[in-house]
Structure 1
Amino acid sequence: MMHFFCSEDLQIPLGLSKAFPDIQLLDLAPAANVSSATSIVWFHLRPGQTVAQQMQTLKQKMPSAYFVGMSDLPNDMEALAVFSLMAKGYCNTHAGAEVLLNIAGVIQQGGVWIGESLMQKLLGMPPAPPQLEVVAETWSGVLTGRETEVAKAIAVGASNKQIATQMGITERTVKAHVGAVLDKLKLKNRLQLALLVKDR
């Protein structure tokens, strides 16, 4: 299996170089030739762009590759956004070679690498109360158009600042919308909201 690293501003991290000595930088230029062999693309998540925007370009370039998001500051919301777009893994940009080899091994066996923190939250999340099951079927019908737009942006990992820019409103207004959405859907946090939205 071939390995590629994609980043606008980073050279190949030391851990990746040690784990996969033959790893190559992925050239996203339209004319660049890329091997059609089964590959894992390790991509560096950049601030200022949603995960969806970044992965769209990668999937166009290498539609049959497996993708692993690498974050300088990993967090559960970003991880959820990565997995909602069918990536196979998510880890720290500076993870050690042993961890990266484990991730690759899990992916090659058809699995998905989910960090311990997110896994605990997903497993520890209490079952939805009966009224939430009804809401889940038509969650967007409970919300205003603006609230629905905010909810969908959260599901792809957008921050309040990114949502404000995208919608042409203030961050304070975004926070108000988020609060209203959580209240109407009887959810505790953005992670639960993202899980609800991405599954519908």
Structure 2
Amino acid sequence: MSFGESYFYSLHYQVPSALLELEPNIQLISEDFTDVDLSFSGLIWFHLAPGATIAAQTATIRKCLPHGKLVIMSDLPSDLEALAAFSIMAKAYCNTHSGMSVLANVASVVLQGGIWIGEAIMHRLLENQVPAQDIAKVVNTKWDNILTTREREVAVMVANGLPNRVIAEKMSITERTVKAHVGAVLEKLGLKSRLQLALLVKES
């Protein structure tokens, strides 16, 4: 089983055995990122270190490898950390010690353009925010028919993990207008976050 070239980054950690078994040729990259292909668009398995925020830890790699698909690996996963991971547009968040079958699923989902999050954490993040019947109602009435053409474009780009700045550039509009579109989309669909919107778009 191969998912193409992949990178692994960690300050003080070797490639986890399950990940190495999944990807025997995975490339371990150094802290200064001088040994990487700057146009790389594959999977970047990023092992978190304690003592610093996810945004701070990933700032350089996100700047150096903007097209890479970032998979955050945590020794002690938590709901707040998961939210932080997706707030910096990570494509997946998982336990460093996950088995090979879980990691294979992560890789498959992300490489197909999806966002992967563990089922238990996903349920906790969505718990008590939007009733299941409300989500089902939106899906069953074909969510994109509810939105204007511009709003549909914004919704898809949000679901693909693009920040407002990039969406504004792609659509030749201001970030303020993008923010207004996102607000309108969330209100029309009865959602409370970009994460919920991403899950809805990807699953429907």
Q: What TM-score results when the alignment is normalised by the length of structure 2?
A: 0.59
Q: Which structure ranks higher in relative contact order (CA pairs < 8 Å, sequence separation ≥ 6)?
A: 1
Alpha-carbon deviation of 1:32? Answer: 2.9
Determine helix, strand or coil for the equivalent of 1:67.
strand
**Match for residue 41 of structure 1 among 44, 58, 76:** 44
Q: Return structure 1 stretches of 4+ with deviation > 6 angstroms.
A: none
Q: Report which stretch shifted further, 23-32 or 13-22.
A: 23-32
**Match for residue 12 of structure 1 among 3, 12, 15:** 15
Cα RMSD for the two superposed structures: 2.2
Tell me whether 1:82 sits opposite 2:85 in the alignment: yes
In the alignment, is the contact (CA less than 8 A) between 1:28 and 1:61 conserved in 2? Answer: no
Rounded Cα–Cα distance in structure 1 between residues aligned with 2:61 and 2:38: 14
Paired letter, 2:102: V
Determine helix, strand or coil for the equivalent of 2:116.
coil
Q: From the superposition, tell whether residues 9 and 30 of structure 1 become closer, same or farther in structure 2 (CA, over 3 Å).
A: closer
Alpha-carbon deviation of 1:118? Answer: 2.0
Q: From the superposition, tell whether residues 3 and 57 of structure 1 become closer, same or farther in structure 2 (CA, over 3 Å).
A: same
**Match for residue 120 of structure 2 among 94, 102, 117:** 117
Q: From the superposition, tell whether residues 24 and 31 of structure 1 become closer, same or farther in structure 2 (CA, over 3 Å).
A: closer
Q: What TM-score results when the alignment is normalised by the length of structure 1?
A: 0.60
Percent identity over paired residues: 44
Tell me whether 1:69 sits opposite 2:69 in the alignment: no
Rounded Cα–Cα distance in structure 1 between residues aligned with 2:22 and 2:83: 25
Alpha-carbon deviation of 1:56? Answer: 0.7
Q: Which runs of 5+ in 1 are unaligned?
A: 129-194
* Residue in 2 that maps onto 1:102: 105
Q: How far does the alpha carbon of each residue in 1:123-153 deviate from its partner, in whole angstroms, 9 at most, with x for none?
A: 322449xxxxxxxxxxxxxxxxxxxxxxxxx
- How many pairs are equivalent? 131
Alpha-carbon deviation of 1:35? Answer: 5.9
In the alignment, is the contact (CA less than 8 A) between 2:73 and 2:93 conserved in 1? Answer: yes
Determine helix, strand or coil for the equivalent of 1:119.
helix
Q: How far does the alpha carbon of each residue in 1:33-83 deviate from its partner, in whole angstroms, 9 at most, with x for none?
A: 436342110111111110000111111221100001101111111011001
Determine helix, strand or coil for the equivalent of 1:121.
helix
Q: How far does the alpha carbon of each residue in 1:174-197 deviate from its partner, in whole angstroms, 9 at most, with x for none?
A: xxxxxxxxxxxxxxxxxxxxx69x
* Residue in 1 that maps onto 2:54: 51
Q: How far does the alpha carbon of each residue in 1:68-124 deviate from its partner, in whole angstroms, 9 at most, with x for none?
A: 110111111101100111000011111111111110000111100011122112332
In the alignment, is the contact (CA less than 8 A) between 2:10 and 2:46 conserved in 1? Answer: yes
Rounded Cα–Cα distance in structure 2 between residues aligned with 1:75 and 1:14: 22
Alpha-carbon deviation of 1:21? Answer: 1.0
